[in-house]
Structure 1
């Protein structure tokens, strides 16, 4: 029986570079097919709801935007027992708190993946509600996919170029939030404030 492999992208696509992990999963599914024992998960900001996927995985690959204090777009690979520590080292959002707890709970229940790899990208900008990946992070996504596919190959995931277009019903991400549709439908900054409702901003003194 083949070991279960879980590929998980976490983050919030609505906050610019925070969506890096989810965009990685979206691209992997659109471009590649995998063996039946491989599961691709858009973890979004689900936190503790992801515990079952972590506990059931023999091998776990995580894509996420992580603030390592490095140059924007820098990729860093963290493995094994170091992963929970890095997930909570410098939290950018509540999803990281939740997922760090998921990993710790999996350890406490002794149902922790035998192999775990965090492939994190240093974000450039987050405070852009409705924004997308900045160019330097979008460019890093391609290298992240290459590194992820290399590890998945080593784990026996059998990645291969997709032989047929992805059926929209099979997509792990919401169609309305797909990268191309999300970016093309975005209003200009002059039409949509990026940081909140300007009606509630204090008037300049």
Structure 2
């Protein structure tokens, strides 16, 4: 199960389809990784990984939510600067027209990205604590 995969220093949250619920998870953390389903007209299961520049990022990603994570984070940066994570990574998965096999493969790719990013964060976090 993914909840036990990364240890107690990593918080995993399912905010459902309410993009604004992301605001409740801003705690000035070192790293926030947001995984979101979207409709961009790309091939089903295609994954885009980005570190959005919330000052200039265009909102050209259509989330499956009423307001997507990019919009939420851009607003939060202006209203709650003190709560913003130091680094934000957005993993966007094209879900329009996705079938079960492609969805499973995309989920495996997302977990691999999470593994890599969280492992790198943990290495850097341990290194910075030791200094």
Q: Same fold by TM-score, threshold 0.5 exceeded?
A: yes
Distance 1:54 1:148, change over 3 A: same
Q: 1:147 aligns with which of 100, 104, 113?
A: 113
Quick check: 2:20–2:67 contact (8 Å CA) kept in 1? no
Query: Counterpart of 2:39?
Result: 67
Q: 1:105 aligns with which of 51, 75, 78?
A: 75
Q: Which runs of 5+ in 1 are unaligned?
A: 1-26, 127-132, 158-205
Please state how far the C-alpha of 1:58 moved relative to its aligned partner.
2.3
Corresponding position: 1:156 with 2:130 = no
Query: Counterpart of 1:28?
Result: 2
Distance 1:143 1:123, change over 3 A: same
Quick check: 1:121–1:137 contact (8 Å CA) kept in 2? no
Query: Cα RMSD over matched residues?
Result: 2.8
TM-score (norm 2): 0.74
Please state how far the C-alpha of 1:155 moved relative to its aligned partner.
0.8
Distance 1:90 1:49, change over 3 A: closer
Partners of 1:83 and 1:117 in 2: CA distance: 15
Judge which range, 71-80 or 49-58, deviates more: 49-58
Distance 1:84 1:150, change over 3 A: farther
Q: Greater relative contact order: 1 or 2 (C-alpha under 8 angstroms, separation 6 or more)?
A: 2
Show CA shifts across 1:67-95 (max 9, x none). 23321111111113169946x424243x2
TM-score (norm 1): 0.50
Query: Counterpart of 2:60?
Result: 89
Number of residue pairs matched? 121
Quick check: 1:84–1:103 contact (8 Å CA) kept in 2? no
Quick check: 1:119–1:148 contact (8 Å CA) kept in 2? no
Partners of 2:70 and 2:23 in 1: CA distance: 11
Distance 1:149 1:50, change over 3 A: same
